[in-house]
Amino acid sequence: MLAISKTEPGVGHVALVELEKPAPGPGEVLLRVLASGICGTDVHVYNWGHFAHRMRLPTVLGHEICGVVEAVGPGVTRVAVGTRVSVESHVACGQCYTCHKGWSHVCPNTRYPGIDFNGGFAPFVVLPEQIVWPVPDSISTEAAAMMEPFGIAVHASMEGSGVSGLNVLVAGCGPIGLMNIAAARALGANFIIATDVNPIRLKMALDMGADEAVDVSRVDARALVRAATRGRGVDVAIEYSAKPDSIAMASEVTTPGGELRLLGVPSGEFALNLEPWLFKGLIVRSLHGRRLFSSWEHATNLLLGKKVNIEPLVSHRLPLQESQAGFDAAISGSGVKILFM
């Protein structure tokens, strides 16, 4: 079978390779992949960022997956052949102090498909049973392939004080930021301001439910937030871009006692003025992944109830053979969510 693999260290070196069809072992399932999406992590691997250095190459990429169970290994009990599933990307150990505290989504022993073992940019993939999530028939294959990133947006919207009745800033309108706009709107946010520099994504932000979409390369976001909130600032700022200027702006426009939720991963160290955090008593939350599996329950409910439609985010549906075109669109920002189908 053909698969998209990271073959060597360094920027690029993502290629189509020929592999044998895998077979499931104990506690594993074999999925026939219906759709798989390019994530920011896949782009990070393409560019050989620091997180990718843990990989043992070659490794098939892809962890945003919808598939049908083709076969099951010994001991599998939760799903049967023919079950359509989405995939959680965190394989927590379940045995450590962090997992026992109920924080398995940040388990220090986490393994990831597409990083630590072969992922879903292939016709078939073997995965641990513990990370497959049965998907109701009324949720489309495209949406099911995006449930993993959508879960991050739901997690970010529901942590701390939530978003209901609050003024919210979403800084960075990549696919998850855009999903966060839709999730925050569905969960009752009062006023949503989105920031980015990409005109395609800013237009999509309005389509997904933002009240204002601000090109920070052209407009003073600080002044706009002050005007839109009667000078009070936002109650919650959710930061996805990981750009120093954006984090500084989000810190400044969050109201005293408000929440700054950090999800974007910076490319390296940078200087940061903590004075706004300290003097305004900001509650700063660093968030990663989804809560296992409460975020999945909430995400499923939002999709089933038609409260959120994430399908418009799909800009490209490509065969595996067009892998380079998919990565080019993701890296350049000319695409939003790229799916291999």
**Cα Rg for the chain, rounded, in angstroms?**
20
Show pLDDT as tens, one digit a residue, over the chain (341 residues). Answer: 999 999 999 999 999 999 999 999 999 999 999 999 999 999 999 999 988 999 999 999 999 999 999 999 999 999 999 999 999 999 999 999 999 999 999 999 999 999 999 999 999 999 999 999 999 999 999 999 999 999 999 999 999 999 999 999 999 999 999 999 999 999 999 999 999 999 999 999 999 999 999 999 999 999 999 999 999 999 999 999 999 999 999 999 999 999 999 999 988 889 999 999 999 999 999 999 999 999 999 999 999 999 999 999 999 999 999 999 999 999 999 999 999 99
Taking each helix axis from N to C end, the angle separating 147-158 and 175-186, rounded to the nearest 10 degrees, works out to 50
- How far is Cα 31 from Cα 123, in angstroms, rounded to an integer? 8
Co-location of 140 and 234 in the same domain: no
What CATH number is attached to the domain comprising 107? Answer: 3.90.180.10
Co-location of 38 and 117 in the same domain: yes
Kindly state whether residue 271 falls inside one of the protein's structural domains: yes
Nearest partner of 141 among 32, 279, 289, 30, judged by Cα: 32
Co-location of 33 and 139 in the same domain: yes
H-run or E-run covering 295 = helix 294-304
Co-location of 8 and 141 in the same domain: yes
pTM: 0.96
Co-location of 226 and 190 in the same domain: yes
H-run or E-run covering 209 = none
Nearest partner of 131 among 81, 175, 79, 179, judged by Cα: 79
14 pairs with which residues across the strands? Answer: 6
Q: Hey, what are 111's tokens?
A: 């393994």
Nearest partner of 273 among 257, 240, 241, 250, judged by Cα: 250
Kindly state whether residue 305 falls inside one of the protein's structural domains: no
Co-location of 132 and 157 in the same domain: no
Co-location of 76 and 125 in the same domain: yes
Kindly state whether residue 298 falls inside one of the protein's structural domains: no
For residue 62, give the DSSP letter.
-
Model pLDDT, residue 204: 97
DSSP 131-199: GEEE--TTS-HHHHHTHHHHHHHHHHHHSTT-STT-EEEEE--SHHHHHHHHHHHHTT-SEEEEEES-H
DSSP 96-119: SHHHHTT-GGG-TT-B-BTTTB--
Co-location of 247 and 335 in the same domain: no
* Contact call for residues 295 and 107 (beta carbons, < 8 A): no
Co-location of 175 and 249 in the same domain: yes
- How far is Cα 3 from Cα 254, in angstroms, rounded to an integer? 45
Question: Into how many domains does the chain fold?
Answer: 2
Domain that holds residue 118: 2-146+310-340
Model pLDDT, residue 267: 81
Model pLDDT, residue 183: 98
Co-location of 158 and 142 in the same domain: no
Q: Hey, what are 327's tokens?
A: 């990565």
**Within a 13 Å sphere around the CA of 294, how many CA atoms are in the beta-carbon half?**
10
What CATH number is attached to the domain comprising 277? Answer: 3.40.50.720
Co-location of 6 and 141 in the same domain: yes
Q: Which amino acids are annotated catalytic?
A: 41, 44
Kindly state whether residue 274 falls inside one of the protein's structural domains: yes
